[in-house]
Structure 1
Amino acid sequence: MPAFLFVFAQSHSEFRLPELESVAELHGFAISVPPDCDTSRPFMVLNLESEEHVRVLASRCILIKHVYEFYAQGGNYDELHVANKASSHMWSSYVHDTPFKFAVTAYNHKISESRQRNIVESFSYMGFLGKIDMKNPQIILGCFEEYDSATGLREDRDGKFRQVYFGRLVVDGSARALIKMFDVKKRLYYGNTSMESEVSLLMANQALASPSRLIYDPFCGTGSMAYRSPTAYFGAQVFGSDIDGRQMRGKGGKDKPPGVLRAAKQYGVADRIVDLCTFDVTRNPWRCGSLFDAIITDPPYGVRAGAKRLGRKKELSDKKKAANIEHQISARNTQQPYVPPTKPYELSLLAADLVVLARYLLKPNGRLVFFLPTVNEQYEEVDIQSMLCDGMVLVANSLQDFGSWGRRLVTIRKTTHESYPPPSFEEEHPSDHVPAHKDFREQYFRGFKKESEVQ
């Protein structure tokens, strides 16, 4: 399989490989990843069957900046040139009459113009006879130096790179333009928990959003994940629900369509919204399973908005229960709205319930994609593993780090064809392990200190 040099954006390093593998799976081809591949580095040499597969990835993956046909790499330029000469069969056909240009750049460093010229001249043995065309070259030859960090004086660090790569440009990543297109600041409707565009794009790719797929967001709120993000833009049909209908409706009165629909119209995807419903996910109307190709959501975890479910914090006395029933009947007879009581929905319980709900609602091989906040210092892999149930397998677990805490993009696949009954949401999830996301809200507001340390 031919080798290609992937140049990534300098963000979300843990999301790079899961995104590549998800998009490849969506389009039915494989990526060969070396066992020693360091996904935290901005350059990756990967094997694919053809350039066409490379172009598919570059048109959909948000984190790809460029992809080059890989010629050589080395710890210094002597090693690079030896390897490049051994790869002459890959570039010799361009030598005689192909207009070309060189692009020399570095990661965590800026190369002076004089040294750039020296680097280009060091490739003179390639013997290119075509025109040097800086505006419209037929091929672009790229040379990339990778430095460990950007600290220290440039003069002291110059040339002391970790690795240098060389190759021919195949394609520039085009999907990154969608980040500006879906920028929160440009949206007609958003709330204080609306997801930023780059992350919502990554989630849509993890969910394999594409035409003919039906995707559900059980905590859709203002719809930033499903409706105004690429989930619908990539062609999927979307259904959303939330316990608080006000988030979906927004302001504007009865004569205006819900805010989510107005925002969807802004991006030309209003016809891909199947419906919006208001209900508690633990008291849902679903009467059969295996409905959705994916579930994509950002459950509320209590920092800006807390998760709720129907019920009361404390049981009512028999006298108050009778009075409450009378109040409901009175409200129904006078056509006054009755607002049912709600109680907090603890995050670790919500996450475990979400996995069980996904097993019921997803089609076989369907994916559950959701964010889970966690305390970085306390996190263990068993935090995620303990949420899984029979028939649900972890696909990816990527951290977006905010320092003392972070949020993990968790992707889980339904691997079973067995039919399961609707979850009751009343069952406990037995486990001796206390995950780092348990009582996250309380931990956040006490600065992630132990209770004994808070005075």
Structure 2
Amino acid sequence: MTSQYLFVFAQAHAEFRIPELLSIAELYSISIQFGVEDLSKLDVSRPFMVLGLDSEEDARKLARRCILIKSVHDFWASGSTYEELHDCTRRNQHLWQKYVKDTSFKFRVDAHNHSIPQRRQRDVMESFDYMNFLGEINMKAAEIELCVYEECMYTYPDKHGTTRHKLEGDGQFIAVYFGKLIEEGTARPLLTKFDVKKRSYFGNTSMEAEISLLMANQTLASPGKLVYDPFIGTGSMAYTTAYFGAYVYGSDIDGRQMRGKGSTPGILRAASQYGVAERIMDLCTFDVTRNPWRCGEMFDAIITDPPYGVRAGAKRLGRKKPFDDQPYIPPTKPYELSALAVDLVCLARYMLKPGGRLVFFLPTVNEDYAEIDIHSLLCDGMEIVANSLQDFGSWGRRLITVKKTTAEKFPPPTFDTVPASADATAAFDTPQHIPAHKDFREKYFQGFKKEDADKPEASPVGNVAGSLAALRILGDVTPNEQTTVLDRSL
């Protein structure tokens, strides 16, 4: 029998909540009832969600693995006012009656987007006196914790130059929820554990902890699975997927990124810090377009953050000029992002087992983005599972999850960067629309301005300072820490 549970989410990465829930539900074979048929109609901006699950154990599994869940509760009542809440609580007496007689308890009154004064917290608790709980009030070791959450609707007025009182807007809310705590979100502390600033080895392209953990969840990382990162860099995603039990293989065209300085490769040093060094199977230096793989269907998942040229340019083996006689080996040439993305999907179709997942980030210009941009990357046998935007204003990066839906065997990709489908051909060749990720590096350093033949191009130097804040978000490094990043030490 399905029961209702109240989920309280962290106020971060709202678009990632549903994909993460669905991924972990698939991992543990959990059935979730969202209450709507079209999940795109869910309001993910609100931190509270009431979902239907088959058992309390399913709720606990989700809370222990989902990074964006703060807590899960037995859902007893809700209302737009406290009067409605109490009426609903009385009607649902069968849900809480068994705790009345001899169960120790405590109350928590909390709110989203505002603070509740202590006196009103006490008034809220006392308003539930009709429940007649006879057990002991135990603030340290209660058997159950009863939780009230107010979802504030108050919009703070513009008071530039003044300090808003912490209780401003108190009592004005969209809804109030009531239930019994089942499980705190025990995966949230992993953000501190994998904090880049505390890592023994990192670089200026290292992915922040929260995103790395979300990506690992999208791959369905679990014990016994084999995961590959073809642009592993300093290994941010390797540590989180290995932490969840998967075995990781990594490669990169620049071996210095993986090695760093010292006799022990930097990735292995950081992996030892997290206790997962034995799950890093191997690291190898090669160009993914000229890879040594001689058989496909090896990996359960591919996870990566491809280089797109803002902080570290994408490269592949080859000469910039056809007849350029270079005195050293091997020469490299730029690797345009749209070509790289198409090649990555083709490689994933060859290397993944049936049902395997490819999880990667794709930066896009928000104003130019269209759904065809993502579908243009697909080839036969590959299907979009999730597409979540991390918005930085004029641009954003999309976490794309693609699933291999076929058991048909395919030959190794040739990496000729020919669009993989008819839709892709239209996306690249139709003059009315250019994919929002095409030539992203050039657009980024031009400040995403439209081309103007009468004006000179914007100077990259002039835009770097204005983009620094976004770079810090992406790399999770502060200005002082940027002096210690890998590219300064090599």
**TM class by shorter-chain length?**
over 0.9
Hey, what does 2:116 align to over in structure 1? Answer: 111
2:322 partner letter: E
Hey, what does 2:254 align to over in structure 1? Answer: 244
Hey, what does 1:330 align to over in structure 2? Answer: none
Which 10-residue stretch deviates more, 32-41 or 266-275? Answer: 32-41
User: How many residues were matched structurally?
Assistant: 433
Pairing 1:50–2:60 present: no
2:380 partner letter: D
Hey, what does 1:170 align to over in structure 2? Answer: 182
| Aligned pairs for 1:404-419 within 5 A | 404-419=394-409
Any unmatched runs of 5+ in structure 1? Answer: 328-337
1:244-268, Cα deviation, whole Å (9 max, x unpaired): 111111112xxx1211112111212
| Aligned pairs for 1:321-340 within 5 A | 338-340=328-330
Hey, what does 1:420 align to over in structure 2? Answer: 410
User: Out of 200, 209, 215, which is 1:197 matched to?
Assistant: 209
Aligned equivalents of 1:272, 1:149: Cα separation in 2: 48
Aligned equivalents of 1:101, 1:56: Cα separation in 2: 24
User: Out of 432, 435, 443, which is 2:426 matched to?
Assistant: 432
1:380-437, Cα deviation, whole Å (9 max, x unpaired): 2221111111111111111111121111111010000000111101141152322111
TM-score, normalization: structure 2?
0.86
SS in 1 for 2:236: coil
Hey, what does 2:13 align to over in structure 1? Answer: 12
Aligned partners of 2:81 and 2:175 also within 8 Å: yes
User: Out of 297, 300, 310, which is 2:304 matched to?
Assistant: 297
Alpha-carbon deviation of 1:307? 0.6
1:150-187, Cα deviation, whole Å (9 max, x unpaired): 62466662222011111000011111111111111111
Pairing 1:101–2:106 present: yes
Hey, what does 2:152 align to over in structure 1? Answer: 147
Alpha-carbon deviation of 1:100? 0.9
Alpha-carbon deviation of 1:149? 5.0
1:141 partner letter: L
1:243 partner letter: I
Pairing 1:316–2:323 present: yes
Give the % identical residues.
65
1:214-247, Cα deviation, whole Å (9 max, x unpaired): 0000000111111xx2211111111100011111
Aligned partners of 1:217 and 1:296 also within 8 Å: yes
Which 10-residue stretch deviates more, 434-443 or 290-299? Answer: 434-443
1:101-152, Cα deviation, whole Å (9 max, x unpaired): 1111110011111211221122111111212211211111111110135624
Which 10-residue stretch deviates more, 178-187 or 292-301? Answer: 178-187
Aligned partners of 2:339 and 2:417 also within 8 Å: no
Hey, what does 2:285 align to over in structure 1? Answer: 278
Aligned partners of 2:342 and 2:417 also within 8 Å: no
| Aligned pairs for 1:346-365 within 5 A | 346-365=336-355
1:268-327, Cα deviation, whole Å (9 max, x unpaired): 21111111111111101111111100000000011100110111222106xx4xxx6xx6
2:232 partner letter: C
Pairing 1:86–2:86 present: no
Give the root-mean-square deviation of aligned CA atoms.
1.5
Alpha-carbon deviation of 1:67? 0.5
SS in 1 for 2:289: helix
Aligned partners of 1:108 and 1:150 also within 8 Å: no
SS in 1 for 2:323: coil
Aligned equivalents of 1:150, 1:195: Cα separation in 2: 33
Pairing 1:235–2:245 present: yes
| Aligned pairs for 1:433-448 within 5 A | 433=427, 434-448=434-448
Any unmatched runs of 5+ in structure 2? Answer: 158-163, 428-433, 459-490
Which 10-residue stretch deviates more, 260-269 or 438-447? Answer: 260-269
Aligned equivalents of 1:378, 1:9: Cα separation in 2: 29
Aligned equivalents of 2:418, 2:320: Cα separation in 1: 17
Hey, what does 1:334 align to over in structure 2? Answer: none
Alpha-carbon deviation of 1:339? 3.1
SS in 2 for 1:432: helix
Alpha-carbon deviation of 1:66? 0.7
Aligned partners of 1:37 and 1:44 also within 8 Å: no
Alpha-carbon deviation of 1:37? 3.4
SS in 2 for 1:225: helix
Pairing 1:215–2:227 present: yes
Aligned equivalents of 1:309, 1:150: Cα separation in 2: 50
Aligned equivalents of 2:294, 2:403: Cα separation in 1: 22
1:442 partner letter: E
User: Out of 71, 74, 86, which is 2:76 matched to?
Assistant: 71
Hey, what does 2:161 align to over in structure 1? Answer: none
Aligned partners of 1:364 and 1:416 also within 8 Å: yes
User: Out of 136, 143, 146, which is 1:138 matched to?
Assistant: 143
Pairing 1:23–2:28 present: no
| Aligned pairs for 1:116-127 within 5 A | 116-127=121-132
